[in-house]
Amino acid sequence: MSVIDLGEYGADFTANPYPYYAKLRAQGPVHEVLTPDGMPAWLVVGYEEVRAALADQRLSKSFSAFGMPLPEEEIIGPNLLIVDPPDHTRLRKLVAGEFTGRRVEALRPRIQRLTDELLDAMEPDGRADLVDSFAFPLPITVICELLGVPAADRDSFRAWSNELVAPTGALGDQEAAVEGFGGYLDALIEDKRAAGPADDLLSALITTRAEDGDRLSLPELRALAYLLLIAGHETTVNLISNTVRALLTHPEQLAALRADFGLIDAAVEEGLRYDGPVENATLRFAPEALTLGGTEIPAGAIVLIGLAAGARDPGRFPDPDRFDIHRDPRGHLAFGHGIHFCLGAPLARLEGKIAIRTLVERFPRLELDPEAGPLEWLPGMLIRGARRLPVVW
């Protein structure tokens, strides 16, 4: 089997990777590839193989355990996405105790109020970039308020986060973003320790203890805050904007939603399946040689698990390239699967449902801006979405 250079597909692969994933899937569920930035990896594209790989604990997330620490772990600390059990089990238990369904549901009135305020500000102009005016400020405000981050610091977070999830500069720019983020979080944690108990999530994580007295260290606190801030808004930005884009380019589906807002849950789930915000799961590697989908993966290989590719597998989702809010999309893997299943999935779903329903209700003549030109897509193979989404109403 020859190595497939995804970079040869050019800008079209970034704009619409799904036909390329379909061609690969027709040849087999796992392929040796070079990513567009030149990284050698093994790409999993079949639904069943994607699901199995996500739960396969032979694949490691802890590069540092094998002498290959990622820059973010060296600078920030160990977070849930880059550690394996038993460290992962311990961290997840400490965090999950505070990131509860009750805490998320308590945010519903605030999310609705923020949504209404953002749309109030947009409405008089008749046109906007939906990302900048709505899909970004809603989740960044929610996660910053949840963690207790001052409003004045949110623009800094956006700049750091953008550079980390969809890099546009050199490696030095990414390391500078990580260092800036880490220094800021150290100061924020110290301020919260000094201030004493408060009802935000970061303050709760500072004081939380397991039954055996275990608690989070400073590097662990810093790393968890880092992960929650980035994962807590970047994915939701693109959940909202990708689903709105799908609705606007499928007017019959938008009309069906407007006729029955009882379909909002299904619309969000179908948006997650059809064009979810995470194209490929964060990196895993094979400490030892193993077999995935009948393909031999050599020891030390990087493995990319194709969430977007698996979501369009016709063996799991009939007519997968059709966006259909009447579909039963259960089983999609947009939030992952197994021990690394997204801790923030309930919050992302709640924000998506409130944001999309309210937008569609408020702006019955909403459409893509016909004068805007082609969309600019986020680079890389991690986050799937457009930098801007110009709309008019």
Mean pLDDT, residues 276-293: 95
pLDDT at 248: 98
pLDDT at 161: 75
pLDDT at 168: 65
Distances in whole angstroms, Cα of residue 29 to Cα of each of 7, 132, 266, 285: 20, 37, 28, 17
Q: Render pLDDT for 104-148 as a digit per residue (tens, 0 to 9).
A: 899 999 999 999 999 999 999 999 999 999 999 999 999 888 888
pLDDT band at 284 (very low <50, low <70, confident <90, very high): very high
Give the chain's domains with CATH numbers: 4-392 (1.10.630.10)
Best mean pLDDT range from 157-166, 210-219, 278-287: 278-287
| Lowest-confidence pick of 119-128, 158-167, 231-240, 258-267 | 158-167
pLDDT at 180: 84
Contacts of 245 (CB under 8 A, 6+ apart): 275, 368, 386, 389
pLDDT at 355: 98
Sign of the CA dihedral with 293 first, then 295, 300, and 306 last: negative
pLDDT at 47: 98
pLDDT at 114: 98
Angle between helices 87-96 and 218-248 (to 10 degrees): 70
**Predicted confidence (pLDDT) at residue 172 exceeds the cutoff of 80:** no
Angle between helices 218-248 and 251-259 (to 10 degrees): 100
pLDDT band at 74 (very low <50, low <70, confident <90, very high): confident
**Predicted confidence (pLDDT) at residue 311 exceeds the cutoff of 70:** yes
Does residue 86 have a cis peptide bond before it, meaning omega lies within 30 degrees of 0?
yes
Mean pLDDT, residues 203-209: 83
Between these two residues, 198 and 30, which has the higher pLDDT value? 30
pLDDT > 90 in the chain, percent? 65
pLDDT at 171: 61
Pairing relation of β-strands 302-305 and 40-44? parallel
Tokens of 333: 């893997």
Q: Render pLDDT for 226-237 as a digit per residue (tens, 0 to 9).
A: 888 888 788 999
Best mean pLDDT range from 3-17, 62-76, 179-193: 3-17
pLDDT at 255: 98
pLDDT band at 218 (very low <50, low <70, confident <90, very high): confident
Mean pLDDT of the chain: 91
Best CA proximity match to 267, nearest among 255, 279, 278: 255
